[in-house]
Every structure is written in structure tokens, then in C-alpha cells.
Amino acid sequence: MDKVRIVSIDPGENKTASAIHWRVGDPSGAQIVIEIEEGKINIYENTVGVITNSPGFRWHLQNLNNYVNLFPGSAENKTIGSRTIAPFGAGSGFLGIPGDVTPPSRFVRAALYTSTAPVRATQIETVMQCFNILDNFNIPIGIEYPQGYVPDLPSATQWTSVIDLSSRVLFYKTMYNTSVRRIALKDIDFEKVTFQCLPLDKEQIQTVEDVIILPVIN
């Protein structure tokens, strides 16, 4: 802790920084959350493996208790009086999970989705499953501002990334192109490579593949 130094990275016009949260993990799966509140550094063990924005991390952990009734799978039929009631479809065990884009709701969804996700056999299977989960948290353009107003940099999901800490490989896709791209960090000699700033997309355009349906000839 004595070696941690606080540096202002977002002073703004009024010299007030945004709320700062970091999630730090290592190849073993161990994770911590670092939060800076009123100039004080707080470090927490990340026992659920997720993090979102405000409120603080401890508040989010406490809020999870409100969803103790949720479970994977489907609810069983019940009888009320002489009538049997049944779920409308699969996944009714998660009925009531919050679906809005606020940080508390996203934290709950992330914690429950990741805790029930199956373990995959390969790297690419795991990465694609991660993207499948993360797609549930995309914030579309237009939801955070009054109707008709679109800022120069919309506060929507600009990009989504997945990192394989064991292999040190970063995967990402953007709001303009959902094709997954990969950066092998282990192949970069950071002692020789100078700082570079590259666009996430060479072109802000999505490639669309045509599927040709041929006639069947008997």
C-alpha cells in the first residue's frame, strides 16, 4: 500500500475526477477490486468476479442478497386452490432478474450469468461464451439522453473485450464491427515497442456475408 500513488487522470473543468474502480486478476483466477473514495485507496477481494460502476463494490455485494430467490433452470408447477400454475417457458428460475442498464442491475446480471455459465474445454469456446454473456450488457445509443439528442461521443458500449490471462491474449469487438479481433500480448516486446495509439476499427463498418441458397436439382 505504501507504494501506491494516486494520480488524477480525469480532472475535468471543475477539477473533480470520476469515480474510479479497477478489477485486477491473475492467471490463477484470484481477483481484487481497487476503489478510490475521497482520496483513500480501498482494496477488496473480488469473490464474485464482476464489477460495475457506482455505488461502491461493497454496496453491490450487499445488494445481491435481494436476489437470493433466483436460480438457474425452471420453476416447478404450483397449485393455488384448485388451479395449477406453471412457468411460461425455460429459465423461469431467473424471473425477476433486473434488466435495465444501471450499474446495480448490470452487477446482478453479471454475477448470476457468470456463476451459472458452464466451463468450456477450449480457449476459443470460453472466449465466445464470454462475449455471449457480455452482449447482455451493451448500452444502445439513445437510451441515456433525451430523445433526439445524440452527443459526439455517445455514452454507449463502444467496445467489448475479453482477456485470457493465462495466455495473455486480448480479444475485442466494437459497436461498429462485431467481428472478434485478437492481440497476443505475449508476443509484444514491451521493452522495445514504443507507445502507439491505434484505432479500434480500421473502418467503422460491419462486414456482411451473403449466404447463397442454391436450387435443389433432382
pLDDT over threshold 60, residue 61:
yes
Report the chain's mean pLDDT, rounded to a whole number. 87
pLDDT over threshold 70, residue 18:
no
1 falls within a domain: no
- Residues of the chain above pLDDT 90, percent: 61
34 falls within a domain: no
Beta bridge partners of 160: 173
77 falls within a domain: no
| Dist CA 77 CA 85 (whole Å) | 6
| Dist CA 148 CA 41 (whole Å) | 40
**141-144 contacts: CB < 8 A, separation 24 or more?**
141/175, 143/101, 144/101
Task: Quick: pLDDT tens for 154-168.
Answer: 678 899 999 999 999
Residue 54, all three cell numbers: 457506482
Structural domain boundaries, residue 175? 121-143+157-188
170 falls within a domain: yes
| Dist CA 20 CA 35 (whole Å) | 6
Task: Quick: pLDDT tens for 90-128.
Answer: 899 999 999 999 999 999 999 999 999 999 999 999 999
* Interval 21-36 mean pLDDT: 89
In the structure, what pLDDT confidence band is assigned to residue 152 with cuts at 50, 70 and 90? low
Q: What is the DSSP letter of 198?
A: -
215 falls within a domain: no
What per-residue confidence (pLDDT) applies to 89?
86
Number of structural domains (the chain) is: 1
| Dist CA 25 CA 214 (whole Å) | 50
φ and ψ at residue 160, rounded to 5 degrees: -130, 135
Q: Tell me which residue has cell 384448485.
A: 82
pLDDT over threshold 70, residue 17:
no
130 falls within a domain: yes
pTM of the model: 0.83
23 falls within a domain: no
What per-residue confidence (pLDDT) applies to 13?
53
133 falls within a domain: yes
